[in-house]
Amino acid sequence: MRARLGLSGWAVWGLALLGVPRVIGHDLRLVGPVGNALLVFVPIAVWAAVVLWKRVPNPFLTLLAVGAAYGALLGVTHQVLWAESFAGDPPSLGGNLAGALPPEVEGLVLRAFSLVSSLVTGAGVGAAVGAAAWVISKIVPGFRPSPRD
């Protein structure tokens, strides 16, 4: 993994973990708008800074991997905090699907969509930050990937 991403698996997961406090703060309503903004943007700025500083071979691919790991952590954290997050009033299907499924099945469907949404969100964030870091690495000579032996 290190040869392809320029970071170890531990580093990829470590960077992804930087996003977990925002998920906890959001799900449990522990932070206000300013705190939430800091918890959103500081981790992704650190992601970009690390890949640029390390001059990884492909910043886009590396941050896509970090984003995928973040998405997995996001999904798991949302599942763990599900009951607390909705404070006894979990979401339900609406429209034509309202009341069409037994409550247990409806809950499983909503949790499954939440998990998929988290994975897509994480990958999307990683791709967006990775694209920005890739452009920066092309524009700024000091951030270009280092030649590999």
Maximal CA-CA distance, the chain: 62
Rounded Cα distance between 132 and 55, Å, is 14
pLDDT of residue 34 exceeding 90: yes
Rounded to whole angstroms, the Cα distance separating 55 from 133 reads 10
pLDDT of residue 148: 58
The pLDDT tens digits of the residues spanning 78-128 come to: 999 998 888 878 888 888 778 788 878 888 989 999 999 999 999 999 999
On the question of pLDDT at 47 being above 90, the answer is: yes
Percentage of residues of the chain with pLDDT beyond 90? 73
Going by pLDDT thresholds of 50, 70 and 90, the confidence category of residue 149 is very low
Whether the pLDDT of residue 1 is over 80: the answer is no
Pairwise CA distance, residues 106 & 111, whole Å: 9
pLDDT of residue 147: 67
Question: For 13-27, how does the pLDDT look when each residue is reduced to its tens digit (9 = 90+)?
Answer: 999 999 999 999 999
Q: Calculate mean pLDDT across residues 127-140.
A: 96
